[in-house]
Chains A and B, each alone.
Chain A
Amino acid sequence: GAGVSQSPSNKVTEKGKDVELRCDPISGHTALYWYRQSLGQGLEFLIYFQGNSAPDKSGLPSDRFSAERTGGSVSTLTIQRTQQEDSAVYLCASSRGDSYEQYFGPGTRLTVT
């Protein structure tokens, strides 16, 4: 079946601009996660959605970051007033609600110039 999809695959933006990153999870997966992976760094948890529950936003690095999930499926991660330190690969993962096995999408490489 289809895996997690993300768009765009690459995004180059100027400092100060807003960007939106999209994630479409595996069909039937109720849990959705966003991570960030900077060059040479590990995977950093950003936010978690499970069904209709309130999201866990504890990993968001600043209030410039926000995310929403519409209809329990597609999610959008928004970064406002981008900074150079936001440059990273943003990864989305999904899992079944009864499992911790997370499956990752191909990621969006964000470059802030």
Chain B
Amino acid sequence: QKEVEQNSGPLSVPEGAIASLNCTYSDRVSQSFFWYRQYSGKSPELIMSIYSNGDKEDGRFTAQLNKASQYVSLLIRDSQPSDSATYLCAVNSDYKLSFGAGTTVTVRA
């Protein structure tokens, strides 16, 4: 079983819609959760961190965490073509981060 699993893509959404990305993790002691955005040919960019159960909003991004279900998600509201990228879920395992394989999002204009 992979440590961090993300919903398989690719995910195609029309401009202005909500993109929903899901991630589950296996290590119950993990306390820190991150979403990275990676444009094609570029390195990952940290866009969200979440540490407590519930929702955390930052602009058009909302991260949701449910530790009991070992589940973290990312919502992108009012999706824009510039949001087209691969989104990586990362979970701390001790001091290291374990990354999911990523979900590729394409926003159709």
Contacts and interface: CB of A to CB of B under 8 A. Distances in A.
A48 B95 CA distance: 9
Report whether over half of chain A's contact residues are helix, strand or loop; otherwise say mixed. strand
Given A31-B95, A48-B96, A42 B101 contact: yes
Contacts, number: 46
B43 A105 contact: yes
A77 to B, nearest CB: 15
B100 A101 contact: no
B34 interface: yes
Contact of B44 (A41, A43, A50, A56): A43
Given A31-B95, A100-B92, A42 B100 contact: yes
B32 A100 contact: yes
B75 interface: no
A104 interface: yes
A101 B50 CA distance: 10
Contacts of B90: 102
Contact of A102 (B42, B97, B100): B97
Interface of B: 32, 34, 36, 42-46, 49, 88, 90, 92, 95-102
